[in-house]
Amino acid sequence: MIDTEQLLQDLTEPQRQAVMHVDGPLVIIAGAGSGRTRVLTRRVAYLASLGIPANSILAITFTNKAAGEMKQRVSNVLDRPIRDFGKLDQRWPTICTFHSLCLRVLRHYAEAIGLPRRRILRHELLPNVVAPLMVEIGLRLTFSIGLIASLDYLGLGVQPPAPDWGLIIQENQSGLSVTYWPVLVPVVAIALLTIGTNLVTDGVARAVGGIDRRLES
């Protein structure tokens, strides 16, 4: 049970009016740091406290970060977790971005308008999932390469005689006054592998997301 008095107790009078408004449209004009997210969060909870079905409440934001923050705040106010599975027919309020809402509508009514689900998955879901996933893989691989090489150079990784670029650099640094090739070659190899990994993952992300094709058109 939601305590409406607790929802309103730390709000100003204009904020209370905005939270308690139910019938008809409402425009809230507020600057940054004025408590906009708090008002919207309490408004969602207040509507739910009036008996309005939670799945009839929709809150739209511009960014995934803002949507995630609002979900967490609404979850805290309602005192129950909001598990968003990207659907329209959920048991809790739908809090998402404009793009996410459009995608949910497409997925929900795809078959009704004659679009097969696999088409939606291939053209809408796959580009939006694979692209950031490939970028994340590239970043993690790059970090792993640098971390392993650094640990091996410091003697905290694999030990001789195991072949490793970090060990090669560490063992040959004392001979820099004679020749620099034994140190330079593994350093260049690590750099090329790192750059190549990023280029490959970025290329795959751009190809799957159709970024280059959109730029050309």
Which amino acid is it at 107? R
Q: Do 71 and 164 sit in the same domain of this protein?
A: no
Q: Residues 33, 92, 53, 9: what is their CA dihedral angle, to the nearest 10 degrees?
A: -30
pLDDT in tens, the chain (217 residues): 567 777 788 888 888 888 888 888 888 888 777 888 888 888 888 888 888 888 888 888 888 888 888 888 888 877 777 777 777 778 888 888 888 888 888 777 877 777 777 776 777 677 777 777 887 888 888 888 888 888 888 888 777 777 777 888 888 888 777 888 888 888 888 888 888 888 888 888 777 666 444 444 4
State residue 11's pLDDT score. Answer: 84
Both 8 and 104 in one domain: the answer is yes
Are residues 33 and 51 both part of a single domain? yes
Residues 105 and 126 in one domain: no
The residue segments making up the domain with residue 178 are 117-216
Q: Please report, for the domain that includes residue 93, its CATH number.
A: 3.40.50.300
Domain count for the chain, please give it: 2
Query: Do 18 and 94 sit in the same domain of this protein?
Result: yes
My answer on whether 130 and 100 are in the same domain is: no
3-class secondary structure, 35: coil
Q: What is the pLDDT of residue 213?
A: 46
CB 168 within 8 A of CB 186: yes
Q: Which of 109, 136, 169 is the last residue of a domain?
A: 109
Tell which of 90, 109, 128 closes a domain: 109
Assess whether 82 and 122 both reside in one domain: no
What six digits make up the tokens of 140?
């993690």
**105 and 128, same structural domain?**
no
Nearest Cα residue to 66 out of 111, 116, 100: 100
- At residue 1, the pLDDT reads 59
Q: How far apart are CA 181 and CA 177, in angstroms?
A: 11
Residues 104 and 198 in one domain: no
- Claim to verify: residue 172 and residue 130 sit in the same structural domain: yes
102, 122: one domain: no
pLDDT in the model for residue 126: 73
This prediction has a pTM of 0.51
Cis ω on the peptide bond leading into residue 161 (within 30° of 0)? yes
Query: Which of 80, 109, 138 is the last residue before a domain boundary?
Result: 109
